[in-house]
A and B are shown apart, each in its own frame.
Chain A
């Protein structure tokens, strides 16, 4: 187990280094951020002066060397747009805004998906199954921004401010964006659980458990669901990773000050330090979540060996 963890951590360091290195060079292929900092009536001399102040007139290997020395200390430089340390900016947007939205949405989408999927599978072709499948189809088909606007119109406008239309800071602010963000993954997870359960419920060990008189609830959640959970865990892990990387559309509709909007603004603005810091954090999140998912495999399926 310890060897497994050490090996995965070692791999993780390589993955993170590879990703940030690729991003370091790729963003520099997209152009020069200095042009964003000057007026449109700027001459080449003014642009050159801005490049000099940003250190972009140094050679690429020189810039990369400085980056490699500073990055392990969490120093990704100063944001070109907002003149703040890039990592501080990324962390300010990650915590609490992005983390609380992602965690609540992930909880909603998993906690509701499991009973819905199980209900749908155990009542295959029945009314509950039809309703669950139709609901899933609807939720998956609805664009997030549209669902978000509908929720705002209903709960903020029609119901005269029952829930806030925008912003963050309290649990009331969290409800609408979390529901809008959880909708599509909830539907996807419910269908995944249903498909997995339908497969597992045909297996001999389920029939045996039932024949032995094991209570149906135990059969479903302890025996069957545990076996159907592997693909569900994988998708949930990835889904949480994507949510923690920022949900740009939901953040935009609800004016949620999360990481997604920060990065999406940084990319067209060629804000290299913020992009690099953001990608570094994303890489860490995905490496950590993948490791967690692998550990969970072993928990739900003892046949998986962590060696």
Chain B
């Protein structure tokens, strides 16, 4: 009897694995004309081999999925902010992408120095928080090391002025939701940011800080992703919880995103090129008051 139960469990595990693998294999970016294509990396700046491996995989993946820019979720430079650190932790690993004209839009993590905002390849233009638009997507890059009332007020103004037509994507270092054990969620920050995200219809949020990949089940209609394993990794640190839709903590990863109309296609890829998560988020028509809906 016990043997039969064990066999059933093994069979179930195998079926689940095969199904998720085939689902990943079925996934394909639509590569629609005029879509917004980007990659997402976080907690990168070690200058070590795993980071370089991820960067190489990004180059490789770009031949099939030509993303135009990259957003970084902070901790861009772990080793310091000497000129050699900028090279070792950023310019050298991503040289091929930079040479190909791929733009990086950085945010600051707790290991970053504020003056990284003056480093042109980070496209921060001297500001530690800023906004930019690509196609039908408005991005908000925040500095969660220092979420003072001034930045909160700025964010509210920017979200309000962005209106309801475009996708709204916020990204920053400290995750509002997390099932990783090392830091856990930044609930203090959540208290301040989540009401604004809900009020003004933010669609998706990307954060790092936890050195794992996690896709969180929608919270108040908003999709949260953690991609903090593009350089550093805390293997086995994820304790999947009720909020976890998918997690991966056994190797380094990066994400690729395509936003085509009201659909956002995403794939998290390991440094060996294995798709560890993928899917599509559909944005439904937004009410005029500013809230967003999803399916």
Task: State yes or no: do A and B come from one complex.
Answer: no
